[in-house]
Structure 1
Amino acid sequence: MNTTRRAYMPLATYPEAVEDGAVLAAAGFAVSLGSVLEVATFSVDIPRVPSPLAGLLIDIPGLVQAAEDKSKSECSRLQSLVRAIGGPSEVNCTSREVLLSGILDAAATDARYYDLAVLPWSRDTASAQHLIEAVVFGSGRPTILVPDSTRQAGRLDHVAIAWDASRVAARALGDVLPLLEPGGRVTVLTVRDEKPLAGAALASLLAASLGKRGVKADPIEIDLGERSVAQALQETALAEGAQLLAMGGFGHSRIRDFVLGGATTGVFADLRLPVLLSH
């Protein structure tokens, strides 16, 4: 049975949209995977709070209306930007108005209807960071974060997997293998001095298991030295020529008590190549 992979990209426009370079990089990466990309832009509906002083010193209703108009305008602009990278069969765009408090939940819920989510990453855009956290930990779908430095073309024939034999790492492996082109290869990365592991030679064990399934795989054990685990994993993946790093995402999406694992925190703060996170 032939199926069409469908990727989802939600884009918030309030209080600011993510940079155009990151949007184009993420959209291009999704299309290069052979996916039909469904882009959803969210314009904001800001509730009006009645107040007898609202227009006395500052035109608050006017400011709110201006913010909403700017958000809608950004939706149209972003859709035009993304449509330019592919034909109608590759990129579809929709727009919807959502209450300010509901954008994150709407994006996470909508993502559940797709094979994966692909999101542009930005260090400096808070709305993009919040959207990433919501989708990674609230959608139940694999999510690929893409930095604006990504230049992806052609086949995805080399991926790296961060492997510690945990449940989320196994899920990341299962999520990334269908994206790998036939005949592609996997680099298995295990960090030796970051935390106690569930056994010895875990990278070699997974590489051997993948080999029995017909997947070319090479194990690499990493020593952190002075690096963080996120730096070590990404630097090694890049040095080996991997086009994508897959890893389990540790954390949960309740904003008030948001807790992330060390590698996940590092990736959110400093993304150097496309990273697939599974939770």
Structure 2
Amino acid sequence: MKFMASLYLATYPDANTSKIAANAVALVKQIDAALHAIAINVDIPDVSNALSNYLLDLPYKIQEVDATSRKCGKDLLEAIAQKAVQGGVDLTTQELAAPPALMGDSAAKHSRYFDICLVGWAPANQTARMLAEAILFGSGRPTLLLPDSTHVGTLGHIVVAGDGSRVAARAVADARAFLERASMITVVTVTDEKPFPGQGIGERLALGLRTRGLVAEAVSIQAGDSSIGTALQEHALKIGGNLLTMGGYGHYRVRDFVLGGATEGILADLRLPVLLSH
């Protein structure tokens, strides 16, 4: 059965850069997956009246925004199509349109039909962040964040954040396609962040991975004055990790996200590809 990855492209007001094309194709090629790329275009309802038309020319401004969003989406899809041909990746594309407040919901509902969701990431791109949070907490699927500042190379060394929690266990299961192809897996436990449900959690997980025929080891670190998200990423980069996988903590209620400290730390300062599961 073919593994299916979906890629969600922010188009307005903050659009993804063309870097997402090369990164998404490089990633799915490594796990022998097919890619379905979706441009999320903005669809602003016409709320104009005679006065607003006269003073602001709202219909024209709305058409201008819609056209800008659609053009950006088409350009991104074309860039991905070119990279997919070069990389020999099976690709299908689609355009969705939704009001600004519902773009995240639309992406989350659509993503439930795929195995993994990809979102491009840049620190100041609030549209991409909104899509990522909505998909992570609303899709039931793992969400893989691809930083625009990073070139996705071979994902040979996978770093697993292990704390014995339900979401951490879910993340390991969701990362199976990457773990099976990894040359090295390091389970990292941050010991000074919170109490754990038992002793030797990291080593127990690493042993389970080794029993399955994978190369895995466990290490413990301390966050110190850093956030847990920063500590995990810094250690992953220090040991040559190419992908960090971890549980995504948070709740989705009345369109407001309440994020756990580790998740917020990752989203605030993404330094390498991170697979989050909720």
> Could you say which TM-score interval applies, normalised by the shorter chain?
over 0.9
Q: Match of 2:134?
A: 134
Mark the CA change 1:98 to 1:202 in structure 2 (over 3 Å): closer, same or farther. same
Q: Match of 2:231?
A: 232
2:80 aligned with 1:82: yes
Q: Match of 2:191?
A: 192
Give the stretch that moved more between structures: 27-36 or 39-48.
27-36
Give the stretch that moved more between structures: 22-31 or 69-78.
22-31
> Does the 8 Å contact 1:160/1:237 carry over to 2?
yes
Mark the CA change 1:187 to 1:131 in structure 2 (over 3 Å): closer, same or farther. same
Specify the code of the residue in structure 2 equivalent to 1:272: R
Separation in structure 1 between the aligned mates of residue 121 and residue 181 of structure 2, nearest angstrom: 28
Aligned 1:115-126 pairs, distance under 5 A: 115-126=115-126
Aligned 1:123-272 pairs, distance under 5 A: 123-154=123-154, 156-182=155-181, 184-254=183-253, 256-272=255-271
Residue 218 of structure 1: how far off its partner (Å): 0.6
Mark the runs of 5 or more structure 2 residues left unpaired by the alignment.
none
Residue 200 of structure 1: how far off its partner (Å): 2.1
Specify the code of the residue in structure 1 equivalent to 2:103: I
SS of 2:235's equivalent in the other structure is helix
> Does the 8 Å contact 1:163/1:169 carry over to 2?
yes
Q: Match of 1:16?
A: 14
Mark the CA change 1:85 to 1:55 in structure 2 (over 3 Å): closer, same or farther. same
> Does the 8 Å contact 1:185/1:216 carry over to 2?
yes
Number of residue pairs matched?
Answer: 276
Mark the CA change 1:53 to 1:9 in structure 2 (over 3 Å): closer, same or farther. same
Residue 34 of structure 1: how far off its partner (Å): 2.0
2:59 aligned with 1:61: yes
> Does the 8 Å contact 1:104/1:130 carry over to 2?
yes
> Does the 8 Å contact 1:25/1:149 carry over to 2?
no
Separation in structure 2 between the aligned mates of residue 148 and residue 258 of structure 1, nearest angstrom: 23
**Which of the numbers 38, 50, 53 marks the counterpart of 1:52?**
50
Separation in structure 1 between the aligned mates of residue 191 and residue 89 of structure 2, nearest angstrom: 45
Specify the code of the residue in structure 1 equivalent to 2:257: F
Residue 241 of structure 1: how far off its partner (Å): 1.6
> Does the 8 Å contact 2:158/2:182 carry over to 1?
no
SS of 2:56's equivalent in the other structure is coil
> Does the 8 Å contact 1:26/1:148 carry over to 2?
no
> Does the 8 Å contact 2:25/2:84 carry over to 1?
no
Residue 177 of structure 1: how far off its partner (Å): 2.2
Separation in structure 2 between the aligned mates of residue 242 and residue 108 of structure 1, nearest angstrom: 29
Cα deviations across residues 165-224 of structure 1 (Å, max 9, x unaligned)? 000000001111232244633100000000111122211121122222222211110011
- Report the RMSD for the aligned CA atoms in angstroms: 1.8
The TM-score with structure 2 as length reference comes to 0.93
Q: Match of 1:7?
A: 5
Separation in structure 1 between the aligned mates of residue 93 and residue 258 of structure 2, nearest angstrom: 33
Q: Match of 2:37?
A: 39
